[in-house]
Every structure is written in structure tokens, then in C-alpha cells.
Amino acid sequence: MTKAIQICGTGSGVGKSIITAALCRIFYQDGYKVAPFKAQNMALNSYVASDGGEIGRAQAEQAYAANIASSVHMNPILLKPTADRRAQVIVQGTSIGNMSAVEYARRKKSLLKKVHQSYETIAQKYKFIVIEGAGSPAEINLKAHDIVNMKMAEYADAGVILVGDIDKGGVFASLVGTLELLDKNERDRIKGFIINKFRGDKRLLQGGLRFLEKRTGKKVLGVIPYYNDIKIGEEDSVSLECRMQNAECGMRKNKKLTKLNISVVHLPHISNFTDFDALEKEHSIKLRYIKTPQELEGADVIIIPGTKNTIGDLTWFKQTELDKKITSSIIHRPLSIVVGICGGFQMLGESIDDPYSIESSAGKIKGLGLLDMTTTLAKNKQTYQIKGKDLLSKTNIYGYEIHHGNTKISDSIKPRFLITNRTGKAVRILDGAISSDKRFWGTYIHGIFDSKEFRKKFILEIMQAKGLTNTKLDCASFNRDKEFNKLADLVRKNIDIKYLYKILNNPGKEPYV
């Protein structure tokens, strides 16, 4: 019989995804077949699962932590915001269209069947399931049609651990307040707390922990220290904002270490910013996310990333005059290059046409005109895991495609990549484009910089052109498993693992404390 435990939080960005990944790795290390599950996720960082559909990036990372192939059933509903009040709704890996919040709420009852279907599909294969909640389970305006928090825990008969982020401040009030807003059956299902991101001496926290346990009757399973030396991919835009702040601080402290300046345009609807994690880890690179033309000053590489609203973000791009700044940078910095990924690749062309209003009602829009090509957005989305070759450096590459666009390039430019495998099927498909002077190129392939040899060639060629020699690249030795093991060790050492297993084996409604 499959057993489940659920990780809920006092709000977004408190660490639910990371704790879920840590538990997946801990249970795997302890010899159990374990899988992650999140009924509904709202994220612009997505991934193509092993079975070919689209899921939240966090569930793909959690599957890796559990040492299993990812599946669309691990995240049956994915919401990708396209505007302030609309989102693309992806069900079991396939888009069913864009909806307003009201439209989506009306569909939830029917979608709940898909959620349960996916959960049962996972439950047939694995001994343990670690379920991740979304936001807070105490959102009063959402509880009536909840399909991801306490209603999911009830369906799976899972004990719930509530996570709070002490680094945000007010952790005791948020934990107690969350319980107070739940009904009795929901409170009974919550078996304990984890306090996350603690800085300092834990002895100073003991009085607060004793108060929390006495006030609520729930056990504090542990306190996880704040860390910044474990590299796990994240999907939340909140984490990107924190990284931007940390990067600025790090640059002020380490100016002497900076050699290559890479600027990623922080588009309003930026998606899949994990595409640049591998570049960010290189100590020889200064990577920044920028929003203004002034911040582009001195950039050796300008990257326009993926977006969930290409036309809307291209309009913003022009309104901020970033397009003019790029043109100026190209003229005054003859060694600088411009790269576009997915939506950013489409922006580099002459025009983008959205005849079916897939991402916008604006229809057709003029592009940046840096590559002689045109893009039309089709109704059906293409989602594939891919392998291939860089036609310029002759290195092997891998990654994944998630796009509606079909791009036609002119004879004046050449494709950049050859895709040889799509989700396990041998193919020969040309991808992307590169200008004759090699200063502008783009691709539909997300995760392209994760390919070590390609990344190495890309960086070294630019550095050599700048006259930088004896450059050491640090990330070639990056070990993803090592990072997950570090995360698991940190969590294992700082929580009551025996109590955790007790919750798994006794998910009944009575509190343990």
C-alpha cells in the first residue's frame, strides 16, 4: 500500500519545493521507491517530462532527487501566467488553452478527476509519495475549490508538515495563524512543523519552539539552517529576485574575479530562467538579470530568454528602449554577441505573428530585426526532450523544447543546431539560426548551456576574442547528485527522521503531541 506525506507552507517561497526534494532523496537513500506529486503548480519555469508532456520544473528536480524518470502525472495541472489575470492551463502535460481565474475556477471540479487519476497512476508504482502543496492551505478565498492543499492531503490520507520561513520574519505568527484559519479536521491532519532558513545559534530559538509546541499541540520536527552552498534548480520567480540581489552583493565583493559580463534581460513574463544556472555557476563569469538600458553597459553577451508572452514582452522591450541600447552596444562593442532562447529567439527576427491569439490579442508585431527570419505561433505546442549537435562547434548538445512557434529563416542565415533525437525518437531537424558574422544567434532549445562541451566552447571563444587567456572554467566538475546528497544530509541532520516515518506510517487524524 502506498503511503504519502504532504509538505505545505505558510506561503509561497518558504521552501516547500526544496524540502520535498530533500525528502525524496532521503527516502531514496533509505531504500524506498518514492515519487513527488503536486496536484497544481503555477510556474513559468517548466520542463518536458520523460513521457513527453510539460510539468513544473520543481517536480522534474524532485523526480531526479528520487532517482526516477519524471512524468506528467507528477504535476497533472500546470498554470503558466500569460498576463495579470490569465494563464495557460496544462493538464497532464498538454495545454487545454488560456483561461481567466474565474474560468479556471469553474473547471476545477472536472479537473479534480484528472488530479486523482494522476495520483493513482503514481501510487501504483511507488511505495512513498511526497506531496507538495501550493501557496498556503489557509487562503480563505481558495479553500472552497482547493485541489492542491488540504483536500489533496485528505484524498491521499497523508499527514501534513507545515513549513515556515524564519528568514522572512514572523514565522511563529504565520505558523499559528495558518492553523487558526483551518477547520478542526484540517488542523488534526497537520502533524508538525519545519522551520526553514534559520541564521544563527539554534539555542536562542528554544523558547520560541517550546511556545509553538505548547500553543498548538504540534511537534517541531526540526529547524533547517540557511544555506547558500547547495546548487538545486528552482522555479519560483521569488527565488530569481533573491538571486538578483545576492548577485549584486557578490559582484561588489568580487570585482577582481569578474572576466566575462553576461546580461540576461529580465522580461516581465520571463520563463525557464534555469536555462542560465550553469553559466551563473562559472566563477569566471559575471551574470546579471537586467531590466533597464543602463544596466546593459559593458555587456559582452546579451541574452534574451524565454517568455510566456512573447509579443507582450517584446512590446515592453521596445517601450524601455532596450532595443536601441542593444543596437548601440553592437556598434560600440564589436566583440559583443546577442543570444535568444525560445521566445527571445523569436524576438530576434523580423516579425512574430500570433493568428490564434495563443499568447496575445495583439496579432502581428515587428521584431528586433537582428536575424532575417519570421515566426508564426501555431495552435499546438511542441514539447520534447532533445539531443543533437552544434553545427558551429561540432559539440554534442541536449535540452528540451517547449514552444508554439514555427520559425522560417532566410537563405542569408544558417541554422545553428541539428536535433538528432526527440523524446527517444531518431530525427534530423534543423534548429535555430546564426548570422553570417556569428554575432547573433538563437535557438528553441532550453537548457542548452547545461551541455558542458558546448558551454565551454561558447565561453572560451568569447574570452579569447577579448584577449583573456589562462581562463579556468569551474563548472565542468559540477555533480548534480552530489548537490542533492548535500541537501538530503542537511535536512536529515536537522529534523527528527524517526518522527517523519511515524507520520508516514500513522497518518490518522489525531495529533501526536
Q: What is the pLDDT of residue 469?
A: 64
| Beta carbons of 304 and 273 less than 8 angstroms apart | no
Specify if 145 maps to a domain.
yes
In the predicted structure, residue 339 carries a pLDDT above the cut 70? yes
224-264 pLDDT, tens digit per residue, is 999 988 988 765 555 566 555 544 544 444 444 447 999 99
State the pLDDT confidence band at 511, using cuts at 50, 70 and 90. very low
Would residue 511 count as lying in a domain?
no
- Give the C-alpha separation, 40 to 404, whole Å: 22
β partners of residue 271: 306
CB 90 within 8 A of CB 104: no
Contact, 74 vs 89, CB < 8 A? no
Q: The cell 526544496 sits on which residue? A: 18
pLDDT of residue 465: 81
For residue 388, tell me if it sits in a domain.
Answer: yes
Amino acid found at 416: R
In the chain, the percentage of residues whose pLDDT exceeds 90 is: 81
* pLDDT value of residue 46: 95
Domain match, 410 and 276 both: yes
Q: Are 473 and 282 in contact (CB under 8 A)?
A: yes
Q: What is the mean pLDDT of residues 63-68?
A: 98
Same domain, yes or no: 190 and 247: no
Residues 197 and 257 in one domain: no
Do residue 444 and residue 491 come from a single domain? Answer: no
Residues 6+ apart with CB under 8 A from 318: none
Average pLDDT over residues 399-404: 97
Secondary structure of residue 326 in the 3-state scheme: helix
Residue 351 and residue 253 in one domain:
yes
Residues 140 and 288 placed together within one structural domain of the fold: no
Query: Does 315 fall in a domain?
Result: yes
| 259: its cell numbers | 572576466
Give exposure, 367-399, as e/b (b: 16+ Cβ within 10 Å): bbebbbbbbbbeeebebbbbbbebbbbebebbb
Does residue 468 fall inside a structural domain? yes
Residue 204's Cβ-count burial label (10 Å; 0-12, 13-18, 19+) is exposed
Look at residue 490 and tell me if it is in a domain: yes
- Comparing 263-267, 326-330, 442-446, the range with the smallest average pLDDT is 326-330
Question: pLDDT per residue over 372-389, tens digit each?
Answer: 999 999 999 999 999 999
Give the per-residue pLDDT at 209.
Answer: 97
- Domain of 145? 3-38+112-229+482-505
Q: Taking residues 267-296, report their average pLDDT.
A: 93
Residues 298 and 272 in one domain: yes
From the list 146, 121, 131, the residue with the least C-alpha distance to 51 is 121
Q: First and final CA of the chain: distance in angstroms?
A: 26
Helix (H) or strand (E) holding 185: helix 184-189
Please enumerate in sequence order all residues whose Cβ is within 8 A of that of 253, keeping only pairs 6 or more positions apart, or say none: none
Query: pLDDT tens digits, residue range 76-115?
Result: 999 999 876 889 999 999 999 999 999 999 999 899 999 9
Q: Which three cell numbers stand for residue 475?
A: 563548472
Same domain, 337 and 450: yes
Band (pLDDT 50/70/90 cuts) for residue 315 is: very high
Q: Do 417 and 300 share a domain, yes or no?
A: yes
280/318 same-domain check: yes
- Residue 290 in any domain: the answer is yes
* Distance from C-alpha of 316 to C-alpha of 267, rounded to nearest angstrom: 8
CATH number of the domain where residue 337 is located: 3.40.50.880
Catalytic residues: 342, 446
Q: What is the pLDDT of residues 143-171, one digit of tens each?
A: 888 999 999 999 999 999 999 999 999 99
* Same domain (yes/no): 127, 149: yes
Paired with 131 in beta bridges are 6, 37
Q: 215 and 310 share a domain? A: no
How many structural domains are present in the chain?
Answer: 2
In this prediction the pTM is: 0.92
Instruction: Output the pLDDT for position 245.
Output: 52
pLDDT digits (tens, 9 = 90+) for 445-494: 999 999 999 999 999 988 888 877 655 666 555 789 999 999 999 999 99
And the C-alpha cell for 213? 509546541
| Average pLDDT of the residues of the chain | 91
Grid coordinates of 478:
559540477
Is residue 171 situated within a structural domain?
yes
CATH number at residue 135: 3.40.50.300
What nine digits make up the cell of 368? 528586433
